[in-house]
Copies of this chain bind each other. A is one copy, B any other.
Amino acid sequence: MALIVQKFGGTSVGNTDKIKAVAERVLKSHKQGNRMVVVLSAMSGETDRLIRLAKDVQKIPDQRELDMIVSTGEQVTVALFAMAVKEAGYDAVSLLGDQVRILTSNLHTKARIKQIDSELISKHLDQGKVVVIAGFQGVTEAGDITTLGRGGSDTTAVALAAALKADACEIFTDVEGVYTTDPNVCKAARKINRITYDEMLELASLGAKVLDIRSVGLAKRYKVPVHVRSTFTENEGTWVVEEDKNMESMLVSGVTYSKNEARITINKVPDQPGVAAKIFLPISDAGIIVDMIIQNTRAGAMTDLTFTVLRSDYDRAMKLLREVAKEINAESVTGSEDIAKVSIVGVGMRNHSGIASTMFQILAKEGINILMISTSEIKVSCVIEEKYTELAVRALHDAFALDKDNVPSEEVI
């Protein structure tokens, strides 16, 4: 008998028929004798509807009141779900973030979970109930309702699994699991059976949308085995787990890409102490997030600074930096929105030199020019011209033989 946390997103519970279907699915595990905790998002479209209502009243909605409003989305889903379980003849109870006591920080709309009280959940589980918990929401020490931001329900699920010492946290989604790359770009893309927390963290931060990055970090910290799988099939999905020996055979686990970024270069910056701060302080003050930063020293105490920002921040950033460039006596600011970041991720590369250069060779062979490079222990990212994105992804997927399953697929639990 296992304790399993299952999380279903907004499209999985998008209407009452889907809610009934998901309830049946949860009851299958329940009938096998498992203790079931279900985490749900709002019905798809509901959160957006509520935000529109709020913006209709207040252009920039008060964050506390906004949380009060949007948290009703999950409240409705969990109660409907508990009803569906009861209608099927089993017992269930719905609980909100403040009823469980999912204690969070005070940062409304982007709160962080500080503590979870597992007592009430355990009591209901002991009574044989399916416990249905509103994702995405928590409560402050003072009793105000908070929400956790985008992907918050994933975080709720993993945090609950950690607090309850669950045997697994299953994240249900509309794909079969985590893929070696985007199946829309590369037909040879293969579902990964097992992947490490660190690889998943890199994939999530590099553009893979299947799991929220905060939930992966939490899973890693508390060693929660996460199973990403499809709502619509019974197939095994992808297990996100701790590294083990079997995994080392795999040099590269996945290829990912992002088209959300733009590149900016400040040319001929006087190479003096404090210059970088003068450039990046106004940028961060404006809430613009900088990803890769590269500095090329020129001859004669001059340097070129190149970095990437989100494409949606590009115009604002360019405007800001033209002013900054004047102040610091840099020559000019140039930039481009037509770029993409292609990355390879794999724990195996830690013990193998030459993975990065293999990547550069593969791209060169296809005539793709590399504009920027950034590496970590388990990933290599290259910024290239956007038009080469799909070509690069397919070439890398093929060259690193990701279509071939080298990972043993035994059960984790």
Q: Which of B54, B79, B98 contacts A66 (CB 8 A)?
A: B79
Chain B CB within 8 A of A58 CB: yes
Q: Which of B65, B72, B87 contacts A82 (CB 8 A)?
A: B65
| A75→B54 CA distance, assembly (Å) | 12
Interface residues of A in 79-113 (CB under 8 A from B): 79-80, 82-84, 86-87, 93-94, 96, 98-99
Chain B CB within 8 A of A294 CB: no
Interface residues of A in 47-82 (CB under 8 A from B): 50, 53-54, 56-59, 61-62, 64-66, 68-69, 71-72, 75-76, 78-80, 82
Min CB–CB distance A399 → chain B (angstroms): 51
| A47→B61 CA distance, assembly (Å) | 24
Number of interface residues of A (CB under 8 A): 36
| A93→B72 CA distance, assembly (Å) | 17
Contact A68 B62 (CB under 8 A): no
Contact A19 B57 (CB under 8 A): yes
Min CB–CB distance A280 → chain B (angstroms): 34
Count of identical protomers in the assembly: 2
Contact A75 B72 (CB under 8 A): yes
For A76, list chain B residues within 8 Å (CB).
Answer: 50, 53, 69, 72
- What is the interface of chain A mostly: helix, strand, loop, or mixed? helix
Interface centre among A54, A59, A79, A84 (most CB of B within 10 A): A79
Q: Which of B16, B64, B83 contacts A65 (CB 8 A)?
A: B83
Contact A65 B79 (CB under 8 A): yes
| A93→B143 CA distance, assembly (Å) | 13
Contact A16 B75 (CB under 8 A): no
Contact B78 A68 (CB under 8 A): yes
| A94→B78 CA distance, assembly (Å) | 23
Residues of A within 8 A of B (CB): 16, 19-20, 50, 53-54, 56-59, 61-62, 64-66, 68-69, 71-72, 75-76, 78-80, 82-84, 86-87, 93-94, 96, 98-99, 143-144
A-B contact pairs, 23 of them (CB 8 A): A16-B53, A16-B57, A19-B57, A54-B80, A54-B83, A57-B80, A58-B86, A58-B87, A62-B82, A62-B86, A65-B79, A65-B82, A65-B83, A68-B75, A68-B78, A68-B79, A68-B96, A69-B79, A69-B80, A72-B75, A75-B75, A98-B98, A99-B143
